[in-house]
Amino acid sequence: MIERLYEVFAAPRPAGVDHCDHCVDPADVAPFTTVPLRDLTAGHVEKYWLRSGTIGDETFVRYLLPRVLELIAEGALDADFFWLGLANSAHQKGDPQEQRAIEEYYEAAPRALAGLVRECADRLDRAGRLAEWLRGPEALAVLEEAALTGPDPDGELSEAHLALEAWR
């Protein structure tokens, strides 16, 4: 699932990343142009979050997206509104292959899917493709199976399952 994201959103490492000279230390931007995408750490990526709106553009976000989603799946980044908003925006603007890759990611990463339900479901365009997918049987089945078969010490998966049922 992660490999598919890297394949579908493949882009060369940027030679430069636009940033605000007043808001951003060039040292915080340097890893995005010198470190291979798969080697960027959560710390590197969080520099983008801390300065969102002052680093990069839509092309940069698309480049960074596979790594962000991988770090969420690994538990190195929280599945919060900001990060999932990047995925949701890419899904909304993406072609069918990109949309399906993001849906497959959510199907394979129940904690990210729980974050999507918790943080973003009520903000989605209810007529949009991602909302349509969430209303389908796959998302609900993923959360139900994860809640029943995996560890869920904080009840996040169970709560997301119930919230998705109500939202649908």
Those residues of the chain that have pLDDT short of 70 are 48-56
pLDDT of residue 16: 77
The answer to whether the beta carbons of residues 37 and 13 sit under 8 Å apart is yes
* 31-64 per-position pLDDT tens digit: 888 999 999 999 988 876 655 555 667 888 899 9
Q: At what angle do helices 137-149 and 156-167 cross, to 10 degrees?
A: 160
